Amino acid sequence: MRYVEISDLSHTYSTSQGSVEALTSVTGSFEQGETIAVLGPSGCGKSTLLRCLAGLLRPTVGTIRIDGRTPAEASREKLVGFAFQDPTLLKWRTVTQNILLPAEIGIKQPDGQLPSAYIEDLLRTTRMTEFRHSFPSELSGGMQRRVALARALLLKPKLLLLDEPLTGLDLVTRTELMVELSEILHRVGSTTIVVTHSVEEAVFLGSRIVVLSSRPGQVLDVVKSVEPQPRRVTYLETESFRESEAACRTLLFSGGGTIATK
Amino acid sequence: MRPSETGRYLPAILLAFVGLAAAEVVVRMFKVPPYVLPAPTMVLASLFQPNTNLALHVQVTLSESASGFLLGSIVGFLLGVLVAESPLAARTLLPYVIGSNAVPVIAIAPILVLWFGHGLVSKTIVSAFLCFFPLCINTYRGITYATPLYNDLFSVYGSSRWQFFLKAKVPAAVPFIIAGAKLNATYAVVGAIVAEFIGASAGLGFGMLQASYSLDVPRLWAYIVVSVVMGMVFYGVVWAGDLLYLRRFE
């Protein structure tokens, strides 16, 4: 069943230097529960695509439907969870208080308070139980990202948007978190769109990888990654992984982009 | 206070003792007349002279500066919120807010005393006049700083403007507000004393004038020292709040 449908989406920013076309004629649809990786070079409009999906930007041209709703309607109904590139944790709130933020704002859920067992489960899933009373300044970069992910998952979103969820982390933390993320996404079952400029992350996390060209971003092709979810770290060493990686890299270079492989 | 905090300020405390001891030695050695520079022990002794009337003057200045601090800070905060939240208000009011900071308080104080009389009200208003600007500008800066940082996060979850204000903008502005309040802690005392210079029947400023008219320089210095201590105590109260609140998570 198609959960997200994007039709002929284009977005142009007006700047002091004139108009900058970020995305052009992006069309695609994503199935319910599917994990899609959007891969492209820096500045190709990946984040713009996510912001349009979250209702934070109104596309210049084209439409988006999330379960038949506009992005703004989907946000109002809290169908969307978003983990930003910067974790944007509120530094005066503890880990638990940060995770609970989406439940405190906007239209309150009709079933009232979230059961504490669910919060416990979320903390356990993101391995933050031990740090539940810590403040963001007391956490490492990887932990802050896990808190941001837990916050995005709090309201069991039907559509989960992850903007460069592993950027800026060291190799070991990044690989660990990538494996954890695959497990969490599989367990949660939300339709997930992960934006990244790393070929490795895209191939590891996505069941399909949408490859965008350099600015203005347009879909070059979609690469399928058939390995079942959730993926283990050993997947990184398989022939299938290397093939998908090579296919993505070829597309990226044909689109004129410079890419990150780590 | 943690031992490390006490340790941090030990050099400043030592400097005060060294400075006072040096002044005492210089005055005694060169027999400096008290009307030029009284010895610190003489200043200390004059604190307890009956004509110094310290308790009364401290009580009056304390209430004037405390009420000026509160009034100025509250008005400054509310005005800061208004100009941060409304671009029209910012365009309309900010030039006047900035201009007000250039008004010499010594010139405006007689006018305010004329309008509001010699009592607590005029002193409070002069003190508040000095205090509102730092709080207003810092609140404005704090709120406008938080807006781009958290706007997307709150928008995604359909936050109302009020929720965004209460849950993100105000808490994010607290460090800026505390920084403004620290400045105000000393400005409030200065404002009250300047107003007392213009017209008062009690207070440290009134006492300073009386002492200077009678060339009682040790007593004049005693009032100066007490006003400095009062400003530092105010500062200490705000600083303690800063420690309790901000150090939890910073």
Pair A88, B156: CB distance under 8 Å: no
Q: What is the pLDDT of residue A258?
A: 42
Q: Do B249 and A101 touch (CB under 8 A)?
A: no
Q: What is the pLDDT of residue B150?
A: 92
Q: How far is CA B50 from CA B55, B193, B206, B214, in A?
A: 10, 21, 16, 15
Q: Domain map of chain A by residue range? A: 31-58+75-79+158-262, 90-156
Q: Domain map of chain B by residue range? A: 32-246
Residues of A in contact with B250 (CB under 8 A): 91, 137
Residues of A in contact with B157 (CB under 8 A): 75, 78, 101-102, 105-106, 155
Tokens 């963001």, located at residue: A136
- Closest residue in A to B155 (Cα) is A56
Residue-level pLDDT, tens digit, chain A, 262 residues: 678 889 988 989 888 888 888 888 888 888 888 999 999 888 888 889 999 999 998 989 999 999 889 998 888 888 899 999 889 999 999 999 999 999 888 776 655 567 788 888 888 888 889 999 999 999 988 889 889 989 998 888 889 999 988 887 788 888 888 898 898 888 888 899 999 989 999 999 999 999 988 888 888 888 888 888 888 989 989 998 998 989 999 888 875 444 443 3
CA nearest neighbour of A29 among A69, A2, A59, A68: A2
**What is the percent of chain B with per-residue pLDDT over 70, rounded to a whole number?**
97
Q: What is the pLDDT of residue B164?
A: 94
Q: Do B150 and A84 touch (CB under 8 A)?
A: no
**What is the percent of chain B with per-residue pLDDT over 90, rounded to a whole number?**
70
Indicate the pairing of strand A35-39 with strand A208-212.
Answer: parallel
The token duo for B131 is: 């205090």
pTM beyond 0.90, yes or no: no
For residue B155, count other CB atoms closer than 10 A to its CB.
19
Q: What is the pLDDT of residue A259?
A: 40
What ipTM does the predicted assembly reach?
0.85
CATH for the stretch A31-58+75-79+158-262: 3.40.50.300
Q: What is the pLDDT of residue B236?
A: 92
Pair A160, A192: CB distance under 8 Å: yes
Q: What is the pLDDT of residue A108?
A: 67
Beta partners for residue A192, in sequence order: A35, A160
Q: Is the pLDDT of residue B83 over 90?
A: yes
Lowest-confidence pick of B48-52, B56-60, B87-91, B191-195? B48-52
Residues of A in contact with B164 (CB under 8 A): 105
Helices (H) and strands (E) in chain A, counts: 8, 9
- The H-assigned helical ranges of chain B are 3-29, 40-47, 54-85, 87-100, 105-116, 120-156, 161-164, 170-198, 204-213, 217-246
Confidence of residue B24 (pLDDT cuts 50, 70, 90): very high
Q: What is the pLDDT of residue B66?
A: 95
Q: What is the pLDDT of residue A64?
A: 92
- Closest residue in B to A98 (Cα) is B167
Q: Is the pLDDT of residue B44 over 90?
A: yes
Mutate to test the interface with A, among B145, B153, B167 (most CBs of A within 10 A): B153
Which residues are CB-neighbours of B230 under 8 A, at least 6 positions away?
B58, B61, B62, B65, B189, B204
Mutate to test the interface with B, among A90, A139, A162 (most CBs of B within 10 A): A90
CA nearest neighbour of A92 among B5, B139, B170: B170
Q: Note the pLDDT tens digit of each residue in B29-39.
A: 999 998 899 99
- Say whether residue B19 is in contact with chain A using an 8 A CB cutoff: no
Q: Residue A160, SS3? A: strand
Element (H, E) at A30: strand A18-31
- Tell me how far apart the alpha carbons of residues A146 and A152 are, in angstroms, rounded to a whole number: 10
Mean of pLDDT values over B23-48: 91
Which residues are CB-neighbours of A122 under 8 A, at least 6 positions away?
A99, A150, A153, A154
- Tell me how far apart the alpha carbons of residues B49 and B221 are, in angstroms, rounded to a whole number: 13
Q: Is the pLDDT of residue B49 over 50?
A: yes
Q: What single-letter amino acid sits at A83?
A: A
Q: Note the pLDDT tens digit of each residue in B117-148.
A: 888 999 999 999 999 999 999 999 999 988 88
CA nearest neighbour of A159 among A245, A43, A34: A34
- Say whether residue A91 is in contact with chain B using an 8 A CB cutoff: yes
Beta partners for residue A65, in sequence order: A5
Indicate the pairing of strand A35-39 with strand A61-66.
Answer: unpaired
Pair B29, B161: CB distance under 8 Å: no
- Closest residue in A to B148 (Cα) is A88
- The H-assigned helical ranges of chain A are 46-53, 71-76, 95-104, 116-125, 141-153, 171-188, 199-205, 239-254
- Tell me how far apart the alpha carbons of residues A78 and B186 are, in angstroms, rounded to a whole number: 48
Q: Is the peptide bond before A216 cis (omega within 30 degrees of 0)?
A: yes
CA nearest neighbour of B105 among B238, B206, B197: B197
Q: What is the pLDDT of residue B3?
A: 55
Q: What is the pLDDT of residue A262?
A: 34
Task: Give per-residue burial for A34-45: e unless 16+ CB within 10 Å, then b.
Answer: bbbbbbbbebbb
Q: Which CATH class is domain B32-246?
A: mainly alpha
For residue B128, count other CB atoms closer than 10 A to its CB.
26
